[in-house]
Amino acid sequence: MAADSGAITNEDSESGEEEGKHVKPFTPEKAKEIIMSLQQPAIFCNMVFDWPAQHWTAKHLSEVLQGKQIRFRMGTKRTDTAPQFETTCSYVEATLEEFLTWNCDRSSISGPFRDYDHSKFWAYADYKYFVSLFEDKTDIFQDVIWSDFGFPGRNGQESTLWIGSMGAHTPCHLDTYGCNLVFQVQGRKRWHLFPPEDTPFLYPTRIPYEESSVFSKINVVNPDLKRFPQFWKARRHMVTLRPGQVLFVPRHWWHYVESIDPVTVSINSWIELEEDHQARVEEAITRMLVCALKTAENPHDTRAWLNPTEVEETSHEVNCRYLNGAVSAFFDHYGTPKVVETQALSTNGEYVIKEELNVHNHMEVEQTSSHNLTLGTVKQEAASPFGPDLVPVIPGSQEPPSERGGMFESDGEDFVGKNGKRFGKLHYTKRQRMMSESENAVVEQIASNSTVAPSQTFISTDDLLDCLVNPQVTRIVAQLLIQGRSL
């Protein structure tokens, strides 16, 4: 069977949304404190009832945008085991009005969606930055009020819009920068989340390449467990996000997001974190290696490996400037650190780097830091912020959609947690036990990345890249590079 799934129902939380609508449960200061300390996903309720953006249905936005052309990603409603990466999708330029007409299955053969049977395809206007979408209507930025979560001045200008039909989804990935706040405006979305320490079980890859996105090779709603046997160890957290709710996704949590209603509208904002300064160095290293090797392999075709969202030049000269800029920005922020101790340690046959820097302690290799990940969570439990207005997303016993049926077998009903409870203690013992399994899985995970049979000796560029730009490797390289520049 697939990975242990986790799910909660937030249906109970809706009853509280009708009460006390004029008083928000958290002050901006308290909300920010929760966001900056919480190490598991959670849903904020009753925090956006007075936002003008709560009325931003797709129909309303079609009137606001007045015929503006938007790019839609078109995917198929299939249930095989391969992820639908953006490089394998097709694209349509259309207005929201044309999208809504097609989505009602009333499209004519002359419309922009004429080649896409509504019963077989979904459409997704994803990653639409407000500053581009509403460039001539900047007053609308004020309709999104992230300052209620403790980030003064943050509004639609730092936000992204997502509009999709049923079945529209993003492949499973993690964001290398920041944490994420997601406001659900219209329709429901189902989120499948996995903790950072389960990364080896998600078989990470940087192909297709997109800055700040590490993709999983697995279709998590219909996994190929013969090819990716470690995935069964991953701990799935699953929740249905409803209109009026805001999901907090902590740093480096993997997520697969699917629309389960005919039309969905979401607004998100990525919150910058202190760790992003080193992460930008890691991303610059990744970009240089991926672009160099993939361009050398086929200098005339980047479409097969470069995500359509990547529009910047990929030349080696540009990437060198990008890397130098990231390292310079790191030192501009921290000053020149003095290396107190740098030593190589061997843990379960793997080499990791441990250092103590006088200006920051965040530069840790995931293998070592993941052991301490639960400490903050355990400490947080002593004074838990959870309740009807902050619902934790926890692992449970609900099985995910079957391998045979995939995501379209779902009936759209909520999933409940273990024994039907909405809350519960985190599984600390299991979590800590999984740490050693995670470390032991790294080598096996990298070996399983090969697309050819073990008896064959051919190693492709992608096989090499999966090792070279594995997040664990680029983290070590970034640390060594920063230390070398500080000497």
Tens-digit pLDDT profile for residues 67-117: 999 999 999 998 899 999 999 999 999 999 999 999 997 656 678 999 999
Q: What is the pLDDT of residues 304-325, one digit of tens each?
A: 899 988 877 788 899 999 999 9
Prediction pTM value: 0.77
Domain ranges across the chain: 28-273, 274-335+466-486
Place of tokens 């930025």: 141
Residue 26 has pLDDT above 90, yes or no: yes
**Rg of the chain (C-alpha set):** 22
Q: What is the pLDDT of residues 141-156, one digit of tens each?
A: 999 999 999 999 999 9
Question: CB of 84 within 8 A of CB of 75?
Answer: yes
**Tokens read off for 260:** 């389960």
**Range 28-273 classified under CATH 3.40.50.1240:** no
* Maximum distance among all Cα pairs of the chain, rounded to whole angstroms: 69
Q: Which residues pair with 42 in a beta bridge?
A: 248, 392
Question: CB of 121 within 8 A of CB of 114?
Answer: no
What whole-number percentage of the chain has pLDDT above 70?
72
Q: Of 68-77, 293-302, 310-319, 414-423, which has the strongest mean pLDDT?
A: 68-77
Question: CB of 209 within 8 A of CB of 306?
Answer: yes
